[in-house]
């Protein structure tokens, strides 16, 4: 479907200025298919227990086949573009989420910044990888970003919504800024990256097609630190030769085997 308005950014060299970038065809179809099968199993169990698929979290720690998701997070098809965007050869995986909007009633995600929710993270060199597990477009509620809205790294005030959305809070965005929003249209296996301070959100999915995305929160290990006492899941060192490897981080870089267990995840109270 042709897009209207400004052309989306596909140039990683512009990431620092634009605050986002689209990366095409990063993963082979076989990898995406395996992840989609795992996701289908998780959704079946989650919805049978009365949960909504938008609220699946941390598959690299909590899924039965967590190794599949953790291996995906350190896949060079992901880590190489991310390292280029962040200007580093050392990366941390700090968390991940599955956000799946079902057909017809998939919940909206109001305008927000990611960093707002990460009290254990110190530093601004953090981004989100949004990997499309389904074909994603405006019809099924793709993410939209407001280019360069991360400038100055200001944490913006949140306001309560009416509750008919995923987060329950939103940032007030003037109409002139909303007009500049770019839809992140992605075929399955492609991904976007966006700065943790950029303003972004998405509309409800009222189409007949599911919208499944896997978000990986990745940081520059040289400039970002994680307070492990506040963090509720393991921190993985996924790329680098070790200079910024700290006590408590789990090192799975340089082709090292995955650990025997995924680590402890402690839900918030």
pLDDT digits over 175-193, tens only? 999 999 999 999 999 999 9
Handedness of CA 244, 234, 218, 146 (dihedral sign): negative
Give the pLDDT score at 5: 60
The rounded distance, in Å, linking the Cα atoms of 86 and 184 is 20
Q: Is residue 105 a contact partner of residue 165, using CB atoms and an 8 Å limit?
A: no
User: Is 152 exposed, middle or buried (CB count within 10 Å of its CB: 0-12, 13-18, 19+)?
Assistant: exposed
Handedness of CA 66, 202, 24, 148 (dihedral sign): negative
Q: Is residue 105 a contact partner of residue 50, using CB atoms and an 8 Å limit?
A: no
The rounded distance, in Å, linking the Cα atoms of 43 and 202 is 21
User: Which residues of the chain are under the pLDDT cut of 70?
Assistant: 1-5, 268-269
The rounded distance, in Å, linking the Cα atoms of 81 and 85 is 6
Q: Looking at the domain assignment, is residue 121 inside a domain? A: yes
For 202, the 3-state DSSP assignment is strand
Q: Looking at the domain assignment, is residue 180 inside a domain? A: yes
Q: Domains in the chain: how many in total? A: 1
Q: What is the CATH number of the domain that holds 186?
A: 2.60.120.620
Give the pLDDT score at 56: 85
Q: What range does the domain containing 123 cover? A: 12-251
Give the pLDDT score at 268: 64
Q: Looking at the domain assignment, is residue 260 inside a domain? A: no
pLDDT 10s digits, 22-38: 999 879 999 999 999 99
């Amino acid at each position: 479907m042709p897009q209207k308005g400004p052309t989306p950014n596909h140039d990683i060299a512009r990431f620092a200025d634009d605050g986002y970038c689209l990366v095409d065809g990063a993963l082979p179809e076989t990898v995406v298919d395996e992840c989609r099968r795992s996701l289908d199993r998780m959704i079946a169990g989650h919805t049978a227990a009365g949960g909504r698929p938008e609220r699946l979290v941390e598959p690299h720690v909590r899924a039965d086949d967590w190794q599949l998701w953790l291996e995906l997070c350190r896949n060079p098809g992901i880590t190489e573009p991310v390292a280029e965007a962040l200007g580093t050869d050392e990366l941390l995986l700090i968390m991940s989420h599955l956000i799946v909007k079902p057909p017809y009633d998939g919940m909206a995600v109001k305008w927000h910044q990611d960093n707002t929710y990460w009290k254990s993270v110190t530093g601004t060199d953090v981004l989100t990888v949004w990997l499309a597990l389904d074909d994603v477009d405006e019809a099924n509620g793709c993410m939209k970003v407001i280019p360069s809205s991360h400038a100055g790294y200001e944490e913006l005030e949140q306001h309560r919504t009416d509750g008919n959305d995923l987060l329950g809070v939103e940032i007030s965005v003037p109409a002139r800024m909303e007009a500049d929003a770019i839809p992140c249209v992605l075929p399955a296996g492609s991904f976007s990256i966006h700065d943790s301070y950029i303003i972004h959100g998405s509309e409800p999915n009222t189409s007949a097609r599911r919208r499944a995305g896997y978000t990986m929160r990745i940081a520059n290990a040289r400039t970002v630190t994680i307070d492990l006492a506040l963090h509720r899941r393991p921190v993985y060192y996924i790329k680098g030769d070790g200079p910024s490897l700290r006590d408590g981080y789990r090192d799975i870089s340089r082709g090292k085997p995955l650990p025997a267990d995924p680590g402890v995840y402690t839900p918030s109270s």
